Structure 1
Amino acid sequence: MSEDILYDQSHIGFLEELWGEGFLSPGGPEEVARVLDGVDLTGAKVLDIGCGSGAIAVLMVRDHGAAHVTGIDVEDPVCAAARARADAAGLTERITIDKVTPGPFPYPDQSFDVVFSKDSIIHIPDKEALAQEVFRVLKPGGIFAASDWLRAHDGAPSPEMAHYIALEALDFAMASPARYRAALAAAGFGDVALVDRSPWYAEVAAAELQELSGPRRATWEARHGPDFIAHQIETWTAMVPVIQSGEHCPHHIRGRKPG
């Protein structure tokens, strides 16, 4: 990948081929629906933190009835892809994609009915500041609904986990369920709930590894290069055991702003 860009066009293309067009994390529309279970987006103004290449913003407007989605991300390639996807869907009046810099959100207090994020706040080290910002921009009664990549504890990772994180070569800032729960509570959220999705992703990740390393490996290599695919196989091979052990534990995260 480019020296300063975590998700360049080649990486975006690989992830979308693996996880579905416009998706940079697993599960597709079905997993988005599970994250949003019980949340009515009809007529809602939504902030999508880490919107990636835009499929979820389109999904929330087209299939879930959101009035408007503001997607934010920190890199030009994904923002450009998200804008193009909104344009192709004919939804540019209902989807805004903003490139932002890390830090406070550039929006007034009480701007959104729902704040959503799928598997992207792993890149934000300060979970406490994030929770405070989400609380600030939510309207009273608003919902924070997210999924993210967590780890079981906040101590030093096991050698196996450290090896996996190093192979990812991304700016991972993983935190425990306990830290997320405490951060949301300290920010003022009620009805805080976390749901462990490790059993689901343990099966998915094993299937992904088989897809990349099995009979179709040559097809993946032809599209993305042998060295790139070899590295992905090495990464998935390291990831599957730490998912299965529970040290790497993806979760759904939910909280409600009182009011």
Structure 2
Amino acid sequence: MELSGDGPGFVDRLRAWWEGEEQDPVWQNGQPVEVFTPKNRPPEVSEHDEAARAAGYLPMPAPEFPSVADLDDRWPEWRLDMAERLWGDGLLTPGGLSYATDFVKAMMPASEKSFLDLGAGIGGAVRGINKEFGVWMTGMEPSEALAEIGKETSIKQGLGRRAPVSWYDPDRIRLEARKYNGVYAFETFYKFADKGAVFDACHLTLRHGGHLMFTDFVLAHPGDPGETVRKWMSADRVVNPLWTAKQVHAALAERDFDVRVAEDMTDQYRSMVLTGWLRLLDSLTPGKVDRSFAMNMIRECEYWMARVSALDSGALRVYRYHAMKPSAEVM
């Protein structure tokens, strides 16, 4: 069985893996390996069963997150745990911390500078970039539940001042004038109703010569994107209209941003998604995956494969933008 990412087939392989159906061998590092399924799975065992522990049959450990009473129903604890397994500690989007740190290098991070993340999630990138470059970080997140987790985690790690995370309402965004050297976000703005207002706020809060960098989902062409993209939008709860890549570029230019990069990075994004999933599957040990974890993994895979299918349709793209605020006001 070759775990390629060809849309629904990837999910079908996961289902077959769980149901114990006969499959072609899985290859890792050039060698066939045993695939654990319910047919060779031991009975459910207690985490206190020492004999089962010795045999390696314990279930997956429970995720450890701060208790949040109003946890965002899009991000139950099992899904946060799955995201960290896929993308890395504190990360909810593909690419890993190395991708995030490489991404912001174009903004020339340094200890005397300050950056703002407008899609901070639970703060993994905010904390990681601070640790890597010493830059003063601020994370803002439109989900109250995720922002609270990010805030608590930063405080717990002693980064409450250098990498704080807080909530904001994108429909009423207010940012302090000329505060940051750089603003960035990963796949965040596409869900917002008034994207122009967010770009206005970014322009206001940037210092002269400051950078705005972000990746986002855009339509390849105006009009109906087709059933595959509509299905993904439903699964991702996208209720506001998506913009085309040209609309984003025009909106930035209208706000006096100098757009340096507007690049289609769909292939790279797709590769990062599939790499995360293959790495997760490689990390699973036969005999140590319980039913609830396997079912949640399939649910999450279905969500991501809906996104990959939308990208593969050609109607949905991922773009990277790098724009700069002029170094001085034009008189």
Task: Settle same-fold status: TM greater than 0.5.
Answer: yes
Alignment of 1:103-142 (within 5 A): 103-142=171-210
Alignment of 1:147 onto 2:230: no
Question: What SS class does the counterpart of residue 103 from structure 1 fall into?
Answer: helix
Q: Contact 1:8 / 1:77 at 8 angstroms: preserved in 2?
A: no
Alignment of 1:233 onto 2:308: no
1:258 corresponds in structure 2 to 326
- Of the three residues 50, 69, 82, the one matched with 2:119 is 50
Q: What do the CA deviations read for 1:137-173 (whole angstroms, capped 9, x no partner)?
A: 1111111011222231232111111122223345575
Alignment of 1:24 onto 2:98: no
1:188 corresponds in structure 2 to 256
Q: Which deviates the most, 39-48 or 213-222?
A: 213-222
Distance in 2 (alpha carbons) for counterparts of 1:170 and 1:229: 22
2:317 corresponds in structure 1 to 249
1:60 corresponds in structure 2 to 129
Distance in 2 (alpha carbons) for counterparts of 1:168 and 1:221: 27
Q: What do the CA deviations read for 1:190-238 (whole angstroms, capped 9, x no partner)?
A: 1342122111122333445666789959967645462x43333333333
Alignment of 1:74-93 (within 5 A): 74-93=142-161
Q: Where do 5+ consecutive residues of structure 2 fail to align?
A: 1-69
User: TM-score, length-normalised on structure 2?
Assistant: 0.68
Distance in 2 (alpha carbons) for counterparts of 1:218 and 1:224: 12
Structure 1 or 2, whichever has the larger Rg, is 2
Q: Where do 5+ consecutive residues of structure 1 fail to align?
A: none
2:233 corresponds in structure 1 to 165
* C-alpha deviation, 1:24, in angstroms: 0.6
Distance in 2 (alpha carbons) for counterparts of 1:173 and 1:8: 26
Distance in 2 (alpha carbons) for counterparts of 1:152 and 1:165: 15
Distance in 1 (alpha carbons) for counterparts of 2:240 and 2:84: 20
How much is the aligned-residue C-alpha RMSD, in angstroms? 2.8
